[in-house]
Amino acid sequence: MPLIISTPTTILSSSNCFKYAFTCSEISPSLNISVKRLSDLSYSKLFEYAKEEALKLSQEDEPFNLTLLTVNTHFEGGYLEEDCPNIYNEQYSSVIACSANQINDFVRWVQAQDFYDNTTIVLVGDHLTMSTAYYENAIENYTRTVYNLFINPAVTPVDTNYRQFSVLDMFPSTLAAMGVKIDGDRLALGTNLFSKEPTIIEKYGYDGKQLHHLLRVLDFLERYISGEPYENCLRPLDPEYLKSVKQF
């Protein structure tokens, strides 16, 4: 789950979106650990590193943006690091609980800092978990959704009732949460959720089956154009994800 921490006046652009970007191999030596992929990273240590970076950035005389990515719940079954207690029969439940606690502790830490009053926190879930079977077997009658949360935004939402939206709307909404004024409250295909403007889904509706077909075609074309054999392209790379899309 990406965790974005920004001072409200930060404006992201294609030319200076990030001043520094650290890959897994670059960040692991500073944490005194050895990892080969992000899913194996000790996120408790990552958040400690993030605290140091946040304090450094807050001392500068300009707005800052700090973006973190956690992927320990990304893969099927998740990655249960050594510092996480295995308290449930299902490992994935323990991974979710540990990740939630780590993020909560970090957010609480930020809220206790002097720079928090002028800082917006955005929690973004980029997609549904790929552990589709986990929800089918463990939880009955549960409608899976992506979790997003704005903490301490610079603007108050016009409508606090249930909204229907997609990832497209997170772009203008994140900027609005940082205090950016958006003419017409729309950017590209996204709508500022803090405004009264309806989103594309609210205006035109949503059909999971149609999205399933579009994603399936996109998967086929990308792989076929890249040179993958035709017969292989006929089989989707992630059939469980496509199946979950159709459920909405």
- Residue 122: per-residue pLDDT: 94
- Residue 245: per-residue pLDDT: 72
Count the alpha carbons within 13 Å of 239 in the hemisphere toward its beta carbon. Answer: 4
The burial of 97, by beta-carbon neighbours within 10 Å (0-12 exposed, 13-18 middle, 19 or more buried), is given as middle
* pLDDT tens digits for range 198-222: 999 999 887 777 777 888 888 899 8
Q: Is the dihedral of CA 31, 65, 128, 145 positive or negative?
A: positive
186-190, Cβ contacts within 8 angstroms, sequence gap of 24 or more: none
Distances (CA, A) of 173 to 59, 121, 170: 27, 12, 5
* pLDDT tens digits for range 7-50: 443 333 333 445 555 555 555 555 454 445 554 567 778 888 88
Each residue's pLDDT, cut to its tens digit, for the chain (248 residues) gives 455 554 443 333 333 445 555 555 555 555 454 445 554 567 778 888 889 999 999 999 888 889 888 888 887 888 888 888 999 988 999 999 999 999 999 999 999 999 999 999 999 987 888 777 787 776 677 777 888 999 999 999 998 888 889 889 999 999 999 999 999 999 999 999 999 999 999 998 877 777 778 888 888 998 899 899 999 999 888 887 777 776 66
